[in-house]
Amino acid sequence: MEAESQNLAGYILAGEDVKTTPEILGSGYHEDGTDIGNTYVEVDLQSQIMYFYKNGERLLETPIVSGHTTTPTPVGVFYAWNKEENAELVGYNPRRGNEYAQPVNYWIPVDWTGVGIHDAGWQSSFASDQWVNNGSNGCINTPPGAMEKLFSLMEVGTPVVFF
């Protein structure tokens, strides 16, 4: 970036009329021209549905429960940086005002603040409005059977899109 700034400043100071391709770090694209590749997780927060695509083929579609309005799921592009079976999720629930330690069978963290995808057998339903009253602290609560399947299909490094 600094080199590009110096190049542009040089053109301006010299009064040159040039067309240039900016120096950037990375391309943001895979070799096949796609921005995240064709294997990824997509979480539609509006519809409360998660999809998993592998090599362009949809292998999983499941309802989910996302973050509550006071503890929302972050929007953006992340990636699965780990996978863990029989994990214990530990944290603080600001809505209830208490610490928690919640065991889960499958845990896939996707950001660095504690948000991830996990099974949530305690959810009474995975209806599209369940998040309004029983939303998570930002994680993607997933039906146990669907989470087991996702865990077996998904690899560490897989892009995850929350929108």
pLDDT value for 21: 72
Three-class DSSP category at 52: strand
Q: In residues, how long is the chain? A: 163
Residue type for position 140: I
> Within 10 Å of residue 113's Cβ, how many Cβ atoms?
9
Q: What is the mean pLDDT of residues 109-138?
A: 95
CA angle 143, 149, 153 (to 5 degrees): 140
Q: Which of 69, 33, 63 is nearest to 140 (CA)?
A: 63
Contact in structure between 139 and 67 (CB atoms under 8 Å): yes
Interior/surface letters 36-66, b for 16+ CB within 10 angstroms, e for the rest: bbebbbbbebeebebebbeeeeeebebbbbb
Confidence category of residue 158, pLDDT binned at 50, 70, 90 = very high
pLDDT value for 8: 76
Residue extents of the structural domains in the chain = 30-162
Q: Into which CATH architecture does domain 30-162 fall?
A: Beta Barrel (2.40)
Question: What pTM was estimated for this model as a whole?
Answer: 0.79
pLDDT value for 88: 97
* Tens digits of residue pLDDT in 71-114: 999 999 999 999 999 999 999 988 888 999 999 999 999 998 99
* Tens digits of residue pLDDT in 5-64: 787 788 888 887 878 776 655 555 556 666 889 999 999 999 999 999 999 999 999 999
